[in-house]
Amino acid sequence: MNETIVSGMRPTGKLHLGHYLGVIKNWVQLQEKYNCYFFVADWHALTTKYDNTEELKQNTKDVVMDWLACGIDPEKSTIYVQSLVPEIAELNIYLGMITPQNWVERDPTLKDMAKILKTKEGQGTQVNYGLMGYPVLMSADIMMMNSKYVPVGIDQVAHIEITRDIARRFNNLYGEFFNEPEPILNECSLICGLDGNKMGKSFKNDIKISDTDIETSKKVMTAITDRSRLRKDDLGHPDECEVAFKYWKIFGSDDEVKTIRCECEKGLRGCAQCKRELGDKINLCLSEIREKRRYYEQHPEIVDEIIEKGSQKARIKAKEVLQNVRDLVKMY
Ligand code: TRP
Ligand code: SF4
């Protein structure tokens, strides 16, 4: 029997290359070896965006379409939406009862989120009860499938620690049942944004998986290069080319990277030409993924069916775990 893995993403809308290279590619490999559950954490989105739910459904679909396009295979992995598995909400209640207040108050990621909220204006600047419960709900997500491993980014590791603590506490109180899940660290995404900062939707420095070739090429032309280079026959310094050369190292072959380094250093390669070629290269690398995504965009009913079926499948496992929990807690 394969070990179980759970991971989720909040429905932030269309995903970018940072998500693909840093997270999804990793998931695609994991699904070959593990019993994988991947879900869209739409309740977690509500913890901060409860006052703006207009796009929640579409954002959820967009995330799933990106996963499918990148190679998450519904035959191998269970793809579902958190709120379509209401058993998670019931487990969340039991876990909330055994989680000391100071465990959630200590949570560093939550502290950061609270800080960001306070800088915003108008509604939604305060920390609500639901947001305080973020790590407990996340524990319910993970424990619902009695998962052994959780692939996450480094920023989520504190949450997994709380999950382990809650699982241990449950086992001590009611009897050994839950695994104490361990994080599998996603490889830090090697790709930075077009401006050299962390790639992110809100920084407007991202390339989306779903961008068209033309959009991508345009964006790549804005990538930062060697700032000391003014004319195209100035000698270049690829290692100081902050973004474009780094992208080449991700998308180009060893030979291509070697040639570009050589031509750049000798002043035989202009940055505009270099970035035009880079755009073409990225488009080529993404062509299969984008074609697949367009297919799902044109067949939204298939996406709906995958979500529906996956959520049903997740519920089967969830119901089984929940029955055990109810028995152990001695509920009616
Ligand atoms: N908090 C995670 C994030 O923002 C998303 C998430 C919710 C999650 N529940 C989870 C990740 C359970 C892994 C397991 O990225
Ligand atoms: Fe960077 Fe290419 Fe310009 Fe060299 S030629 S500085 S590698 S963009």
For residues 69 and 111, the model is more confident at 69
Ligand 2 neighbours by CB, cut-off 6 Å: 225-226, 229, 236, 238, 241, 244-245, 260, 264, 269, 271, 274-275
Q: Which of 273, 255, 224, 283 is nearest to 17 (CA)?
A: 283
Across all residues in the chain, what is the average pLDDT?
A: 95
In angstroms, the CA 261 to CA 280 distance is: 18
Q: Is residue 61 part of a domain?
A: yes
Q: Are residues 99 and 239 in the same domain?
A: no
Whether residue 77 is found in the same domain as residue 37: yes
Give which of 275, 238, 240 is closest to 257, Cα–Cα: 238
Mutating to test ligand 2, I would choose from 221, 222, 226, 251 the residue with most ligand atoms within 8 A of its C-beta, which is: 226
Ligand 1 center to 135 CA (angstroms): 9
How would residue 1 be classed by pLDDT, with cut points 50, 70 and 90? low
- Judge whether 198 lies within some domain: no
Burial letters for 17-42: b for 16+ Cβ neighbours within 10 Å, e otherwise? bbbbbbbbbbbbebbeebbbbbbbbb
Is 47 among the domain residues?
A: yes
Task: Determine if ligand 1 sits within 6 Å of the CB of residue 41.
Answer: yes
67 located within any domain: yes
Q: Both 13 and 151 in a single domain?
A: yes
Share of the chain above pLDDT 90, in %: 87
Q: How many residues does the chain have?
A: 332
Region 180-186: mean pLDDT is 94
**Least-confidence region, from 51-60, 110-119, 220-229, 319-328:** 110-119
Binning pLDDT at 50, 70 and 90, where does residue 121 land?
low
145 and 23 in a common domain: yes
* Per-residue pLDDT tens digits for 23-33: 999 999 999 99
Residue with tokens 């998931």: 27
- pLDDT of 122 reads 62
Nearest ligand, CA of residue 246?
2
* Best of 10, 63, 116, 162 for a ligand 1 pocket test (most atoms within 8 Å of beta carbon): 10
Beta-strand pair 4-9/182-185: unpaired
Mean pLDDT of 247-267: 96
On whether residue 204 sits in a domain, the answer given is no
Query: Taking Cα atoms as reference points, which of 240, 239, 233 lies closest to residue 266?
Result: 233
pLDDT tens digits for 132-173? 999 999 999 999 999 999 999 888 999 999 999 999 999 999
Could you tell me whether strands 4-9 and 35-40 are parallel, antiparallel, or unpaired per DSSP bridges? parallel
Range with the largest mean pLDDT of 189-198, 226-235, 257-266: 257-266
* Residue 4, beta-bridge partner list: 35
Kindly state the average pLDDT of the residues 285-307: 98
Domain total in the chain: 2
Q: Report the pLDDT value the prediction gives residue 190, as an integer from 0 to 100.
A: 77
* Ligand 1 near 19 CB (within 6 A): no
Distance 147 CA to ligand 1 centre (A): 13
Question: How far apart, in whole angstroms, are the C-alpha atoms of residue 273 and residue 123?
Answer: 47
Q: Which two tokens stand for residue 130?
A: 């639901």
Sheet holding 35-40, edge to edge: 78-81, 35-40, 4-9, 149-152, 182-185
Q: How confident is the model at residue 112 (pLDDT cuts 50, 70, 90)?
A: confident
Whether 162 lines ligand 1, by a CB cut-off of 6 Å, is no
- 50 and 157 inside one domain: yes
Please check whether residues 69 and 144 belong to one and the same domain.
yes
Whether residue 119 is predicted with pLDDT greater than 90 in this model: the reply is no
Range 3-7 average pLDDT: 97
Q: What confidence score (pLDDT) does residue 124 get?
A: 58
What is the 201 CA–ligand 2 centroid distance (Å)? 25
Is residue 202 included in any domain, yes or no?
no
Cβ–Cβ under 8 Å, residues 59 and 280: no
Please choose from 275, 277, 281, 282 the residue to mutate so as to test ligand 2's pocket, defined by most ligand atoms within 8 A of CB. Answer: 275
Task: Band the pLDDT of 256: cuts 50, 70, 90.
Answer: very high
Question: Is the minimum distance from the CB of 74 to ligand 1 under 6 angstroms?
Answer: no
The domain that contains 183 carries what CATH number? 3.40.50.620
pLDDT the model gives residue 50: 93
Structural domain containing residue 271: 211-292
Tell me if 200 is assigned to some domain: no
Judge if 140 and 16 occupy the same domain. yes
The answer to whether residues 37 and 177 belong to one domain is yes
In order, the DSSP letters of 98-128 are TS-HHHHHH-HHHHHHHHHHHHS-SSS-SPP
Average pLDDT of the residues in 244-250? 96
In this structure, is residue 203 part of a structural domain?
A: no
Q: Where does the pLDDT of residue 325 fall: very low under 50, low under 70, confident under 90, or very high at 90 and above?
A: very high
Q: Kindly state whether residues 65 and 142 are assigned to the same domain.
A: yes
Residues 38/149, Cβ–Cβ less than 8 Å: no
Asked if 314 and 232 sit in the same domain, the reply is no
Which helix (H) or strand (E) segment holds residue 323: the answer is helix 300-329
Nearest CA owner, ligand 1 atom 2? 9
Residue 101: per-residue pLDDT: 96
Q: Is 193 helix (H, G, I), strand (E, B) or coil?
A: coil
| 79 pLDDT above the threshold of 80 | yes
Ligand nearest to the backbone CA of 239: 2
Residues 157 and 37 in one domain: yes
Asked if 288 and 310 sit in the same domain, the reply is no
247 or 119, higher pLDDT: 247
CATH number at residue 254: 1.10.240.10
